[in-house]
Amino acid sequence: MTAEIFAVKRFAVHDGDGIRTTVFFKGCPLRCVWCHNPEGLAPGPQLAFYAEKCTNCGLCAEVCPRGAHRIIDGQHRFERSLCTACGACADLCPARVLTLYGETVTVDSLLPRLLEDRAYYEKSGGGVTLSGGECLCQADFCAELLARLHQHGIHTAVDTCGAVPRAALEKVIPFTDLFLYDLKAHTESVHQRCTGRPNGLILDNLRWLDEVGAVTEVRIPFVPGFNTDEVPALAALLAELRHLRRVHILPYHNFAGAKYAALDYPNTMPATLPERAELDRAISILRAAGLRAD
């Protein structure tokens, strides 16, 4: 069994308790306008071209089997329609202008990388987090990987948007110590505008996880002009949950703009960033509902 991932981040401190290693899986059912990991949206490998860094050395043109790279009048021309994302050019690029987002892994090949830092996990109360994209788009692989991590005594977390079949959650729940559940909006029309999809399944899955006793932390991206007015309704919903451990307000940032250009995606990231006073008000609303929030 294989899976497609786009990053393994060691020493992560914002993806669950303690020091963690986070595995980022390719593929996502949502299209959030503020997505800061656009390289995780598509299920397969993609070549990113950071044109502003290119020195026009021509090495990529020499090795590309499809002729997707050409140097014309001293300028690098990349024809994405010819690219098969084989990665030959990225392997040779001296300036890291070309980056291949996508790596095919097996559980046996990935597990040793995740166990390298087990001493840090044990000292800090950390572990391994599966994220994305949406990791549960590859639920069978996730279940097998999580089970193997549990065999080694490693704490596990699954970061999910919840827009997955119930069966996907059922596969991983026996081996998941903590669910990091991303909630974008309570109102369906708002969620549709923010992500391109309704949220009925997402809310149903959250309630189901709580009913079966799964320990959960909810994370709410806070994006001015899109979902900031949703906090009171989300607070009322979350106050009903019995196994919710904490709620995190995640302030929106727009650092990922260069990735959109490199992947030839339209940049949908909003221009307005949240102010500290807005974040504090949102946290106060959550705390007033009896929730542990930060």
Give residue-wise pLDDT tens across range 94-150.
Answer: 999 999 999 999 999 999 999 999 999 999 999 999 999 999 999 999 999 999 999
CA distance 9 to 235: 31
pLDDT for the residue numbered 25: 98
Average pLDDT value for the chain = 97
CA distance 288 to 232: 10
pLDDT band (50, 70, 90) for residue 230: very high
Structure tokens at 268: 């949908």
- Give per-residue burial for 179-189: e unless 16+ CB within 10 Å, then b: bbbbbbbbeee
Q: What is the domain class of 2-43+102-288 according to CATH? A: alpha beta
Which are the contacts of 248, defined by CB distance < 8 A and separation ≥ 6? 217, 218, 219, 220, 293, 294
- Indicate the angle between helix axes 139-151 and 107-115, nearest 10 degrees: 50
Mean pLDDT of 183-198: 98
pLDDT for the residue numbered 278: 98
Mean pLDDT of 209-237: 98
Mean pLDDT of 52-81: 95
Query: Which of 47, 52, 54 shows the shortest CA–CA distance to 68?
Result: 47
Domain boundaries in the chain?
Answer: 2-43+102-288, 48-100
pLDDT for the residue numbered 146: 98
CA distance 274 to 190: 18
Structure tokens at 269: 């990231």
3-state secondary structure at position 42: coil
pLDDT for the residue numbered 20: 98
Structure tokens at 185: 């909006």
pLDDT band (50, 70, 90) for residue 271: very high
Asked whether the beta carbons of 38 and 259 are under 8 A apart, the reply is yes
Asked whether the beta carbons of 66 and 82 are under 8 A apart, the reply is yes
pLDDT band (50, 70, 90) for residue 269: very high
Query: Which of 230, 183, 236 shows the shortest CA–CA distance to 209?
Result: 183
CATH of domain 48-100: 3.30.70.20
